[in-house]
Chains A and B, each alone.
Chain A
Amino acid sequence: MSNTKVVLPTEHCETCPAFTQLEQMGIKVGDFDRVIALAGNPNTGKSTLFNALTGLKQHTGNWPGKTVTRAEGGFEFNKLRYKLVDLPGTYSLLSASQDEEVARDFILFGQPNCTIVVTDATALERNLNLVMQVMEITEHVVVAVNLMDEARRKGLEVDARSLSRDLGIPAIPITARTGEGIHTLLGAVAEVIEGKTETKPLRVEGTPEFQNAVNELVPMIKQLAPGIPNARWLAIRLLDGDARVQKAITDGELNEIVSRQYQQDVQFSKKMSVEGRQ
């Protein structure tokens, strides 16, 4: 399936609730032009990259599931202001632990302009599982192959060009600790957002039966939760027997999640604009 982002017809916009929510998200209004999500396995250096980009000195180290929420900061690149959201480290977006839910819900419903998946160059294969999962949700993905210094120390070479070609999205080697490759990474992110780089995420097609089942479910989900950005992903989750998604759909929680995520973003933007004036 092509674009996961909902394009709303303008003639219905004024009265459509999805449109008002989109406006209130405060992503394009307020103090930020763009929102970037940082995803990745635990201990791949997301927070190091977050700190390198925002100049903040918080949020390094691990802490247990419950207290983990998203950390947010801002930076400017090529005269555009970015809001950076540092998500909890996860191996997957499919299991139901709380930190994974935070990451998943934001990528699904927070609709970042681009998601950077930070990967560990020394354990790339394991990390690519999450990359594939994020690519199922959104086309706006860039892989940061981090810890290149450690990889070199271990005598590993990473063929980022081939990786990028095989995945269908940019793959940029970086060392967040030293700043190596960070500008290239941001350039790649900007190009993905601006559509200068056309991504073609590698996706598992599945059997014709599977595709038929997905195609049957998608319209039903869209009917149940108008404005839902990732109906295809939810359909696949349903087919997989994901109890959490089943529950969210049957008891109407889905709409709540969508609007809650929007509200959080609005609150954040308001907070930032207040603090920005002080």
Chain B
Amino acid sequence: MSESIQLHLLQPGQRGTIAKVNSTGALRRRFVEMGIVKGEMILLERHAPLGDPMAYFIKGYHLALRKEEAAQIEVILG
């Protein structure tokens, strides 16, 4: 099993499988509500000009996340 990296470190066009969500409380709940759950495939589409926020593609829709939020999510490449 390959090592996980933080979601915000993906390159545009790169995809990963969610391995762990490190946040707690309201943010974690929101993540789950938006489909960010373990085992789900997520793709970084592109980021805003200054690199934040970032546009991801998950469960058939687009989701924008702040860098600091994305950093709390661990993914395994591929």
Contact = CB atoms under 8 A, between A and B. Distances in A.
Contact of A123 (B26, B29, B60): B60
Interface stretch (A7-15, A67-75, A90-98, A172-180): A90-98
B3 interface: no
B61 A95 contact: no
B30 interface: yes
A217 B29 CA distance: 23
A125 interface: yes
Interface in A85-121: 91-92, 94-96, 120
Interface residues of B, number: 9
Main secondary structure of the interface of B (DSSP, over half): mixed
Nearest to A240: B29
Contacts, number: 30
Contacts of B30: 91-92, 95
A273 interface: no
Nearest to B61: A123
B61 A96 contact: no
A92 B33 contact: yes
Interface string B14-35: 0000000000001001100111
Interface string B30-64: 10011100000000000000000000000111000
Nearest to A127: B61
Contact of A129 (B26, B33, B60): B33
Contacts of B34: 91, 126
Contacts of B29: 92, 94-95
A123 B58 CA distance: 10
Contacts of A125: 35, 59-60
A129 B37 CA distance: 13
A122 interface: yes
A126 B35 contact: yes
A92 B35 CA distance: 12
B61 A126 contact: yes
B26 to A, nearest CB: 6
Contacts of B26: 95-96
B31 to A, nearest CB: 11
A122 B57 CA distance: 13
Interface of A: 91-92, 94-96, 120, 122-126, 129
Given A94-B29, A123-B59, A126-B35, 6 more contacts: A91-B34, A92-B30, A96-B26, A125-B60, A126-B59, A126-B60
Interface of B: 26, 29-30, 33-35, 59-61
25 contacts: A91-B30, A91-B33, A92-B30, A92-B33, A94-B29, A94-B33, A95-B26, A95-B29, A95-B30, A96-B26, A120-B61, A122-B60, A122-B61, A123-B59, A123-B60, A123-B61, A124-B60, A125-B35, A125-B59, A125-B60, A126-B34, A126-B35, A126-B60, A126-B61, A129-B35
Q: List the 3 shortest-distance A-B pairs measured between CB atoms, nearest first.
A: A123-B61, A92-B33, A91-B33
